[in-house]
DNA sequence: ATCGCAGCCTGTACGC
DNA sequence: TGCGTACAGGCTGCGA
């Protein structure tokens, strides 16, 4: 569920909440699979007394760099959320991992579908080493994108969703970027014209940057939807042009938006603006 | 390299 | 209201 803009919003909110500098005093894991590695016993020993030196993002991962030199990585997957609450407050039944901090606070990981994962590692590259470039990093150039696309015989949408190709795009922002570039999601990557490539590169960045400016996309009211720290909603839904807008008029030509399946993922397209 | 599928989980929406 | 079904924004491992 959370993609690059949502994860970026969580990281910014954690900074705002003053997470950097805080001390981790205890780890509690209530759903064992939430901690991918190491074992709970091992992690408790290594986390106790560590301070949070920095909070940053790589792709869809949140990285907590620790004073010990190690890093704690979090992937929210579909329904993961981070809460910062007083330890005295009763945790939610969906809080599966708790990090007791100083000042009587707790960082709590809430995740209805239980797909989210924590990784405590000596170096983040153990987890994020295979990720592709950051799409909104100024160091990521059109030239580089062009080279990466060369010779890719696969379908464009699954390729953009592949985190080792580019890091951070998910179903929402891929559909939005392809629509803005007027490219059908089933196009073969190496058949894009130079012009299409240029427009797609810009569209990809635009939808992500706008997503961040709007603090992410929260789709509905349900507890399974994206929320940032302390239940904060994102405002980017109003910015979506095709995603989950089946039957609504295309903002460019008025034709009803269609929902199709591409690479086993639901996809939203304007049949006129995005011809095959 | 690329594709398709099962699996990991729970909640929600919708048709009857 | 209840029941069955389909569906959900991610990712991994497997076989082809």
Q: What is the pLDDT of residues A38-50, one digit of tens each?
A: 999 999 999 999 9
Q: Are A266 and A120 in contact (CB under 8 A)?
A: no
pLDDT, tens only, A1-28:
799 999 999 999 999 999 999 999 999 9
From residues 50-109 of A, which are strand C contacts by CB within 7 A?
59-60, 75, 77-78
- Which of the residues A23, A233, A265, A271 is marked catalytic? A265
User: For residue A206, what are its two tokens?
Assistant: 């635009």
Q: How far is the CA of A6 from the C1' of B14 (A)?
A: 29
Q: How far is the CA of A254 from the C1' of C14 (A)?
A: 43
pLDDT over threshold 90, residue A122:
yes
pLDDT, tens only, A152-187:
999 999 999 999 999 999 999 999 999 999 999 999
- Other Cβ atoms within 10 Å of A110 Cβ, number: 21
The greatest distance separating any two alpha carbons of chain A, rounded to the nearest whole angstrom, comes to 60
Q: What is the pLDDT of residue A222?
A: 66
- CA distance linking residue A81 with residue A92, whole number of Å: 12
What are A57's strand-pairing partners? Answer: A62
Sequence-distant (6+) residues with CB within 8 A of A23 are: A49, A50, A51, A52, A101, A102
Q: How far is the CA of A274 from the C1' of C3 (A)?
A: 40
Q: What is the pLDDT of residue A81?
A: 95
pLDDT, tens only, A49-88:
999 999 999 999 999 999 999 999 999 999 999 999 999 9
Q: How confident is residue A225, by pLDDT bands cut at 50, 70 and 90?
A: confident
When pLDDT is averaged across residues A206-227 and rounded to a whole number, the result is 89
What are A66's strand-pairing partners? Answer: A52
Q: What is the pLDDT of residue A230?
A: 84
Q: Are A101 and A22 in contact (CB under 8 A)?
A: yes
Tell me whether residue A3 is one of the annotated catalytic residues.
yes
> Residues of chain A with pLDDT > 90: what percent?
95
Q: What is the pLDDT of residue A6?
A: 96
Q: What is the pLDDT of residue A1?
A: 75
């Amino acid at each position: 569920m959370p993609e690059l803009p949502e994860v970026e919003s969580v990281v910014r909110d954690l900074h705002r909440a003053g997470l950097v500098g805080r001390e981790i005093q205890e780890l509690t894991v209530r759903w064992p699979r939430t901690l991918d590695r190491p074992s709970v016993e091992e992690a408790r020993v290594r986390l106790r007394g560590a301070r949070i030196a920095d909070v940053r993002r790589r792709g869809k991962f949140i990285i907590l760099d620790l004073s010990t030199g190690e890093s704690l990585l979090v992937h929210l997957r579909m329904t993961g959320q981070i809460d910062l609450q007083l330890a005295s407050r009763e945790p939610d039944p969906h809080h599966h991992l708790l990090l007791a901090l100083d000042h009587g606070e707790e960082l709590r990981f809430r995740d209805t579908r239980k797909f989210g994962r924590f990784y405590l590692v000596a170096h983040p590259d153990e987890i994020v080493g295979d990720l592709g470039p950051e799409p909104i990093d100024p160091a990521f150039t059109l030239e580089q994108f062009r080279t990466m696309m060369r010779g890719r015989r696969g379908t464009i949408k699954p390729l953009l969703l592949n985190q080792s190709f580019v890091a951070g795009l998910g179903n929402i922002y891929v559909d939005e970027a392809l629509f803005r570039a007027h490219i059908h999601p089933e196009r073969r990557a190496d058949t894009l014209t130079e012009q299409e490539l240029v427009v797609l590169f810009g569209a990809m960045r635009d939808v992500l940057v706008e997503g961040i400016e709007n603090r992410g996309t929260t789709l509905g009211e349900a507890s399974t939807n994206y929320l940032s720290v302390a239940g904060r909603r994102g405002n980017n839904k109003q910015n979506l042009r095709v995603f989950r807008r089946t039957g609504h008029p295309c903002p460019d030509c008025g034709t009803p938006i269609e929902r199709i399946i591409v690479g086993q993922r639901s996809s939203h397209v304007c049949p006129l603006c995005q011809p095959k």
